[in-house]
């Protein structure tokens, strides 16, 4: 049981499992999915997409996890990642930001005046390059608030859209948060679904930018029992070497939940 606004909601999965399932659905049928550093939920989704491909008997996507010796052929880290993307050999990547605005712009640099910023972020480290050339970039933010999803970013470290005369093969296709799933097309976000325990009104309240909202917005579908089995039995052991704390907290808790139920 999960508590939301004083109500207990019966869910047999954890929020991280829901997000990973939705990201895996968004990945689709591709050749190569790459995941950067410190991204355990996208990494779970990428490996889940691969396991689904194996189970379906189709060519599963190749998965590269930056920092993993088990799940990448790179020996030179980020430099090889950028080269691989530049050659058109990465189909899906994930980006986040200290701020994200309604045009898909990302801020990984600073908040406030450039000469005297109030907050400094770690830096963009090639995100602008990847944003322009990777066909499907999935934006991901676990804090959905007006502090993070803003009307306009203070600094554009990676632009979500370009002028018509700019050649660009990549860009954002979706934004998934702890509250909902947005799609992105023609320079705007559209609300696709709200996660269990959340509402459209709540998403509007906590989003700083305008977005398109259909008359009927469904609740995000729960992960199937087969998806949960794949994540817990097949994906979790593959992640343990790279994200041991995440695996212990999420999949250890998930196993405890099963035993309790």
pLDDT of amino acid 6? 43
Domain residue spans of the chain: 2-260
Q: Which residue has the higher pLDDT, 69 or 238?
A: 238
User: How far, in Å, CA of 196 to CA of 221, rounded?
Assistant: 8
pLDDT at 3 over 50: no
Q: Which residue has the higher pLDDT, 113 or 206?
A: 206
pLDDT of amino acid 87? 94
87-96, 114-123, 153-162, 184-193: least confidently modelled range: 114-123
**Long-range contacts from 217-220, C-beta under 8 angstroms, 24+ separation:** 217/191, 217/192, 217/193, 218/193, 218/194, 219/193, 219/194, 219/195, 220/18, 220/22, 220/180, 220/181, 220/193, 220/194, 220/195, 220/196
pLDDT of amino acid 122? 84
pLDDT at 86 over 60: yes
pLDDT of amino acid 1? 45
pLDDT at 257 over 80: no
CB 219 within 8 Å of CB 242: no
User: How far, in Å, CA of 57 to CA of 145, rounded?
Assistant: 41
pLDDT digits (tens, 9 = 90+) for 142-170: 999 999 999 999 999 999 999 889 999 99
The model's pTM is 0.91
Q: What percent of the chain has pLDDT over 90?
A: 76
User: How far, in Å, CA of 108 to CA of 190, rounded?
Assistant: 23
Q: What percent of the chain has pLDDT over 70?
A: 92
Task: Look up the CATH number of domain 2-260.
Answer: 3.40.1080.10
pLDDT of amino acid 7? 43
């Amino acid at each position: 049981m999960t508590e939301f606004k004083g109500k207990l909601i019966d869910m047999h999965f954890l929020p991280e499992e829901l997000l990973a399932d939705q990201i895996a659905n968004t990945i689709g049928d591709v050749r190569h999915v790459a995941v950067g550093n410190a991204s355990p939920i996208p990494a779970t989704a990428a490996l889940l997409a691969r396991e689904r491909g194996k189970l379906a008997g189709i060519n599963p996507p190749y998965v590269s996890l930056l920092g993993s010796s088990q799940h990448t052929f790179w020996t030179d880290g980020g430099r090889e990642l950028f080269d691989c993307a530049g050659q058109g050999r990465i189909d899906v990547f994930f980006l986040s930001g200290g701020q994200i605005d309604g045009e898909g712009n990302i801020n990984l640099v600073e908040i406030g005046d450039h000469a005297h910023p109030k907050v400094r972020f770690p830096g963009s480290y090639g995100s602008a390059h990847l944003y322009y050339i990777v066909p499907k970039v999935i934006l991901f933010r676990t804090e959905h608030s007006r502090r993070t999803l803003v009307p306009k970013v203070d600094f554009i470290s990676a632009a979500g859209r370009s002028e018509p005369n700019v050649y660009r093969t990549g860009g954002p296709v979706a934004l998934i948060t702890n509250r909902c799933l947005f799609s992105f097309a023609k320079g705007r976000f559209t609300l696709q679904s709200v996660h269990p325990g959340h509402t459209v009104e709540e998403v509007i309240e906590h989003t700083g930018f305008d977005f398109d909202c259909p008359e009927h917005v469904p609740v995000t579908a729960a992960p199937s029992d087969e998806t949960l089995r794949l994540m817990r039995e097949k994906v979790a052991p593959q992640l343990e070497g790279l994200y041991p704390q995440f695996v212990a907290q999420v999949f250890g808790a998930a196993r405890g939940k099963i035993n309790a139920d």
